Amino acid sequence: MASTLKYVRVPPNSANMEEARKRVFEFFKTACRSIPTIMDIYILDDVAKPSQLRSTVASEIRKNAHVTDPKVIDMLLIKATEELSNIVEHAKQRHHIIGQYVVGRQGLTQDLGIKDQGNSNFLNSFYSGNYF
């Protein structure tokens, strides 16, 4: 797997949105196919399921859903491919993957839900830190 990804080349610019869109799907498929390897080399079995990682990849792609310029999409794809190959080549460490793709950007406090609804602003900011 790793050897095939190593030689992934990003072809010249997409001519139109259609082509760019196709390339995005191709990238998503490549990413999904490498998920078992990733799970394996970073020992992610006890922290995440493959489906979770797949949806993380999808949401990372959807973050740029508003982009309409094929050139920009190509650029983002180049970056995404680079990131993917870095991950697959084990250029990262386990905590990078967990921090970035498993735990996500909202940090470890994911239980901000029904519990805090009745609280005042003071109490909520008290829980998050001393300086407010």
Task: Give the interface with other proteins as residue ranges (CB under 8 A).
Answer: 115, 119-123, 126-127, 130
Take residue 9 and report the two structure tokens written for it: 């080349």
Residue whose token pair is 């979770």? 52
C-alpha 56 chain-centroid distance:
5
Find the shortest distance in angstroms from Cβ 21 to other proteins: 45
Give the nearest distance from C-beta 116 to other proteins in angstroms: 8
Give the nearest distance from C-beta 5 to other proteins in angstroms: 41
| Start-to-end CA span in the chain (Å) | 50
- In the complex, the smallest distance separating the C-beta of residue 105 from other proteins, rounded to whole angstroms, is 21
Cβ neighbours around 68 below 10 Å, total:
9
Cα angle vertex 93, ends 54, 106, to 5°? 55
When the beta carbons of 66 and 115 are compared against other proteins, the nearer one is 115
Residue among 4 and 125 whose Cβ is closer to other proteins: 125
CB nearer to other proteins: give 25 or 127: 127
> Shortest approach of other proteins to residue 33 CB, angstroms?
40
Comparing C-alpha atoms, which of 35, 34, 24, 38 is closest to residue 4?
34
How far, in Å, CA of 39 to CA of 43, rounded? 6
Which residue, 55 or 128, is less far from other proteins as judged by CB? 128
Nearer to other proteins by Cβ, of 12 and 129: the residue is: 129
